[in-house]
Amino acid sequence: MAMPERTVLIIEDENNSIGIPPVFFSEAGYRVETSRRAAEGIERCRLLKPGVVVLDMLMPDMPGDETIRELSQHTDTADIPVIVTLPPGFYPSGMAELKRMGRRVEVLKRPIDLRDLKKLIGAMAEDGGGR
């Protein structure tokens, strides 16, 4: 069963390592769900069908680009936009390939400017990802 509208699924292995306070999402009108492992995040995404996924690219159980490919292979998660967070100086080569495949993926470098994140989530919601 899908969650109420405007759900954000955060997939990260550490407590708030991506630097986004959970209250940020609730103040913006989003319900926040979390997963500590990429594989679990994929399953939760299929169940919850969030409006946006915020993904730590450096997950220990599965690289972020592989996680996104997995989400792309399932019809119930293929259209969910993903915001990838990266540490400074890191940009995986697989991201360009995912964008060429038509996958809605945006990249934010840490530390994340919350104003940029808010704009990005709003733009993704307007494009149909704001469940």
Q: What is the CATH number of the domain that holds 115?
A: 3.40.50.2300
pLDDT digits (tens, 9 = 90+) for 38-68: 999 999 999 999 989 999 888 889 988 889 9
Mean of the pLDDT values across residues 89-105? 69
Is 131 part of a structural domain of the chain?
no
pLDDT at 130: 46
Q: Is 76 helix (H, G, I), strand (E, B) or coil?
A: coil
Is 83 part of a structural domain of the chain?
yes
At 103, list the tokens.
Answer: 């996958």
Is 23 part of a structural domain of the chain?
yes
Is 54 part of a structural domain of the chain?
yes
Is 61 part of a structural domain of the chain?
yes
Is 93 part of a structural domain of the chain?
yes
Is 2 part of a structural domain of the chain?
no
Mean of the pLDDT values across residues 33-39? 92
Q: What are the helix (H) ranges across the chain?
A: 22-27, 38-48, 64-72, 94-100, 114-124
Query: What are the C-alpha distances in Å from 31 to residues 4, 10, 39, 80, 96?
Result: 8, 11, 21, 16, 30
Domains identified in the chain, total number: 1
**Strongest mean pLDDT among 29-33, 37-41, 66-70:** 37-41
The residue range of the domain holding 21 is 7-126
Average pLDDT, the chain: 80
